[in-house]
Structure 1
Amino acid sequence: MTQDAEPTDTTTSPAAPTPVPDAAAPPLEKASAGYIVSMMAANFGVAMAYVVPISYSLAVRIDELAPGREEVLGYVTGTAQFIFIALSPLIGVWSDRTRTRLGRRRPFLIAGGLLGLAALGGIAVAPNLLLVGAGWVLAMLGWAAASQAILTMQADRIPEEQRGRISGLTGFTGQAAPIIGVLIVSGVSESTTLVFLLPGVLGVLLLAVFLVVGKEPDSRNLAVGTRVSVRAILASYAFSPRRHPDFAWNWLGRLIFFTGLYFNTTFSTFFYAQRLDLPVREVAATVASIGILGLVAATLGAIVGGFLSDRLRRRRLFVLIGALLFVAGAVIEAFAYDFVTLVVGSLLMQLAIAAFGAVDQAIVIAVLPDRAEAGRYMAVVQFSQKIPSALAPLVAPFIIGIGSSGGEQNYTILYLTGAVLALIGGLLVFTRVRSVR
C-alpha cells in the first residue's frame, strides 16, 4: 500500500545507493488519511499510558504507601522529568542518526512502548516509594521517547498545509486519552495492578497499529554525516536565539505557559479530593466525569482551532485565545468548592489547553531552524514542556503550603499563579513571533 506521507525515494538502486545528506531534507507530500488515523491512534495510546499515571494512578499508589504525603507525587514526577530533560536531546540526535531497515523513528516507538509497559508493571508491585520513583523514571523515559518520536515524524513528513489540522488532532487525542483512560481505570480502581497495566497495554496495542500501517522509509541509505562527539552532543542541547529569534520566543512562551498549566494539573486528584471532601481512591469517577465533559471542549479547542488556523492562515491569534481561556478557567477553579463550578472551570481549561497546544505545535514546526535535524530540534522544543513538568511539581508543594491550615492545602493561590503564567506565555508568542501570522 502506498504511503502518501513518505519522502520521495532518493536511491538509484539497492546495489548503488546514493546517500542523502542530513541537511537535504526531502520535499513533503500530503499525508494520507490512513497514515493520519494510525498516527493519531498511536498518539492516543501513548498519551493514555503516560498521562493516566500522572493524573491518577501514581497518586493512588503513593497514597497507599505514604498516606497524607501529597508532596511525594511532585518529587516523583519532577525527578523523572528532569532526568528525561537531560536525556531527550541525546535521544533526538540518536534518532536523527539511526540507520535501520525500519527507519529512524520507528525503533524508538518500539523500544519506548515496551520499556514503558514493563516499568508500569513494576510500579504496580513496588513495595516502597523509592522503587515507585525509579519505576516512574523508566516508564516516563519509555513513553516520552515514543511520544517524541511521533512528534518528530510529524516534522519529518507533514507539509505546511496539513500542520494545523494534524496538530489539532494530536492535541485532541492527547487531551482525550487520559480522560478516557481515567474512566477505564475507574472501573478497576480496586486493583492497583490493573490501574497501571491497563492503560499501558492499550498504549502498546495502538502503537503496534501505527507500526504496521505507518510505514517509514529504510534509513540505511541516508548519509550518517560527521561523527558525533561529546562536544557536538552538548551543543545539541542548545540553539542560537540571535540566529533563530522566532524559535526562541516561541520556546520561551511555551515554557512559561506550560509552567502555569502544570501548576494547575499535576495535583488535580488531590485538589478534587479536597474540594469535594472525598477519599483519594474514590476521586477516579469524579475526575473521569469531569474529564468526559471536558472532552467536548478539548475537541472544540484542538480540532476546530487547528482547522481554522489552517483555513485562516493565522496561528498566533489562536494561541492568545487559548491563553485567555486558560486564565478564565483557572480563576474559576481557584474559587470552586462544588462539582458544577469545578466542571465549568475544567471545561474552559480543557478548551484552552487544546487550542494552545494544537496551534502552537504548528508554529513549532514552522519555525524549526533545520527540518533535516528535526529530531534534535523537536527534543529542544520538548524542553519548553518538560522543564515545567519537572519544575512545577517540585515548586507547587511550597505554594500550596502558603497559608494552609487544618490539613488543607492552599490550592487557590496555586491556580491563580498558574493563570498569570499562562497569560504571560500566550502574550509572548502572540507579540514576539514574527514569521508566522
Structure 2
Amino acid sequence: MTATSPASRSALAEPTTNPPGRWIGAITLASIGLWAGFFGPIQVLLAQQAEEIAGDDKKTVLAVVLGLGAFVSVVCNPVFGAFSDRTTLRAGRRLPWVAGGAVGGALSLLLLAVADNVVVMALGWCGAQATLNAMLAAVTATVPDQVPVGERGRVGGILAIAQTVGVVGGTGIASATGSIAAGYAVTAAALVLLALPYCFDSRDVPLAADERPAPFDRRAFVRSFWVSPREHPDFAWAWITRFLVNLGNALALLYLLYYLQDVIGVDKDEADDRVFVLTAIYAAVIIATTVVFGAWSDRSGKRKVFVIWSGVVGAMASLLLAVGQSWPAALAAAVLLGVGYGIYTSVDFALITQVLPGAADRAKDLGVINIANALPQVFAPFIAALILLVVEAAGGVTETDGDRFSVGYGVLYAVSFLVAILGSVFVTRIRSVP
C-alpha cells in the first residue's frame, strides 16, 4: 500500500494506507527523545540526586519523588490526550502537544538540574511528568491515526526499539556526563532536537468542520474518562493486564541501582556503569526481538499468545533476581527481561489499538490505557520501600562464605514475578482479538 497525502484523509477515518518511511523515522526520533527524558532521570539521575540531597534517607526521598511524579502522570496523560482529541488548530490535533510537551519537558529537566532540595526536586519531576505525558499522549495516538491495523505490530515494534534506545540513551547520558546537572541539561537538549523532524513533517490531519467536538462541557468531559467495562469488556481486560505487567516490571527496575550496591556489593562509583551495562543488554535484546515478533504477529493475525508468553518470560527475570542475587544472575535477568518486554511492547500495543471504543477519542482512550503504565509508578515505589523496610528489618542481608543474600530484595522480586504472571493470565479474557 502506498501513502496518501494528509489533505486527502479524514482525521477520524480508520487508516488504510501506510505512512511514508520518513514519517516513521520522524516519530521514531521523537519517541527516542521522549523516553530519554523519562528514563535518564528514572534510571540514574533521580537516584543520584536523592542520595546527594538526603543521604541515608535516599530510598524514602526517591519513593516520594517518583510517586508524586507518577501520580501527575496518571492524571495528565488521559487529560492531555482528551485535549488533543478536541484540538481544532489547522496544524492538527497531535502536533501542538508534541511540540509543547517537548519544550515543557526540557524546561522541567533544566529545573531539576538546579534543584538542591526535595521540594524543588519534586516540583521539577512533576513538571517533567506533566509535559512529557502531554507529548506521550499525542505520540501514541498518532499511530492509530495514521497506521493501518495490519501494520501496527511492525510499527509498534519500531517504536518499542525507539523506547529502548531512549532508555539506553538517557541512561548513557546520565552516566557519561559526569554530573547530575549536566545529565539533565544534555537530556533536555536531546529531547527538543529529536522532536524537530516530526514537528516539521507530522502529516497531522486537522478535524473537518463536521468532525469537531461539541462545545466543551465540564461534566461530560469528566464522565468521558470512564470507559464502562460492561460495554467495553475487552478494553477493561487490556487495561488490567497492562497494569499488572507494568507493576511487575516497575517493582523489578526501580531499585536496581540500590540492588547492585546493597545486595551484590558493587562499589558506589561503579554502580552507575553496571546499570548502564544491564540496560544496554536489555536494549540489545529488545532490538533483536521486537520488530521480528511484531511483524510475525501482523502476519499471523494473532496477538494474545504473544502477549501471554512475553509476560511469562519477563516474570522469569524477576524470579532470577529474587533467587540468584549475583552479577551473573543480573546479566541473565537482563536478557530475559529484554526478550519478554520486547515482544510485549510491540504486540500489546497493536492489541490495544484494536480494542479502543472509537476513533474520535483515540488519544483520550489511549491515555486511559496509559494510566495502566503510570499507576504502577505510583504504587511500586511505596510497595517496594515497604517490603524492603519491613522484611529487611526482620532479616536484613545475610552473608555466608562471602555470598550475600537479601531477604528483602528476594521478597520484592518474588512479588514482581507473581504480579507479572497474573497479568499474563488475564490476557486470556480478551475475546475480540485473536
TM-score, normalised with respect to structure 2: 0.92
Residues 411-420 or 295-304, more deviating: 295-304
**Aligned AA for 2:334?**
S
**Aligned AA for 1:331?**
L
Specify the alignment match of 1:304 in structure 2.
Answer: 292
| Change in 2 beyond 3 A, CA 1:271/1:435 | same
Match of 1:168 among 157, 160, 169: 157
Output one character per residue of 1:161-205: Cα deviation in whole Å (capped at 9) or x when no partner.
11001111111221232123222332223x221111212211211
Matches within 5 A, 1:175-324: 175-189=164-178, 191-219=179-207, 221=209, 223-280=211-268, 282-324=270-312
Residues 271-280 or 318-327, more deviating: 271-280
Task: Determine the C-alpha separation between the residues in 1 that align with 2:188 and 2:50.
Answer: 19
Specify the alignment match of 1:395 in structure 2.
Answer: 383
Task: Determine the C-alpha separation between the residues in 2 that align with 1:435 and 1:77.
Answer: 36
- Equivalent pair of 1:334/1:415 in contact (CA under 8 Å): yes
What is the percent sequence identity of the aligned residues? 25
| Change in 2 beyond 3 A, CA 1:172/1:222 | farther
| Change in 2 beyond 3 A, CA 1:322/1:234 | same
Larger proportion of helix:
2
Task: Determine the C-alpha separation between the residues in 2 that align with 1:201 and 1:47.
Answer: 13
Aligned pair 1:333/2:321, yes or no?
A: yes
Output one character per residue of 1:301-349: Cα deviation in whole Å (capped at 9) or x when no partner.
3222211111221111111111111121111111233322210011101
Aligned pair 1:96/2:85, yes or no?
A: yes
Match of 1:131 among 116, 120, 124: 120
Superposed CA RMSD in Å reads: 2.0
Residues 25-34 or 327-336, more deviating: 25-34
**Shift in Å at residue 53 of structure 1?**
0.4
Output one character per residue of 1:136-183: Cα deviation in whole Å (capped at 9) or x when no partner.
000111112112211010121110111001111111221232123222
**Aligned AA for 2:89?**
T
Aligned pair 1:376/2:364, yes or no?
A: yes
Task: Determine the C-alpha separation between the residues in 2 that align with 1:41 and 1:5.
Answer: 22
| Change in 2 beyond 3 A, CA 1:354/1:27 | closer
**Shift in Å at residue 280 of structure 1?**
4.3
Output one character per residue of 1:356-384: Cα deviation in whole Å (capped at 9) or x when no partner.
12111001101111022111111111111
Secondary structure of the corresponding residue to residue 61 of structure 1: helix
| Change in 2 beyond 3 A, CA 1:90/1:293 | closer
Residues 413-422 or 77-86, more deviating: 77-86
Secondary structure of the corresponding residue to residue 56 of structure 2: coil
- Equivalent pair of 1:104/1:219 in contact (CA under 8 Å): yes
Specify the alignment match of 1:436 in structure 2.
Answer: 433
**Aligned AA for 1:418?**
S
- Equivalent pair of 1:168/1:306 in contact (CA under 8 Å): yes
**Aligned AA for 1:9?**
S
| Change in 2 beyond 3 A, CA 1:295/1:27 | closer
Structure 1 stretches lacking a partner, 5+ long: 11-19
Aligned pair 1:86/2:75, yes or no?
A: yes
**Shift in Å at residue 212 of structure 1?**
1.5
**Aligned AA for 2:105?**
G
**Shift in Å at residue 258 of structure 1?**
1.0
**Shift in Å at residue 118 of structure 1?**
0.8
Between the two proteins, the alignment pairs up a number of residues equal to 422
Structure 2 stretches lacking a partner, 5+ long: 398-405
Task: Determine the C-alpha separation between the residues in 2 that align with 1:274 and 1:216.
Answer: 49
Output one character per residue of 1:8-60: Cα deviation in whole Å (capped at 9) or x when no partner.
536xxxxxxxxx7x8x5354321211111111111111101111101111001
Task: Determine the C-alpha separation between the residues in 1 that align with 2:24 and 2:351.
Answer: 19
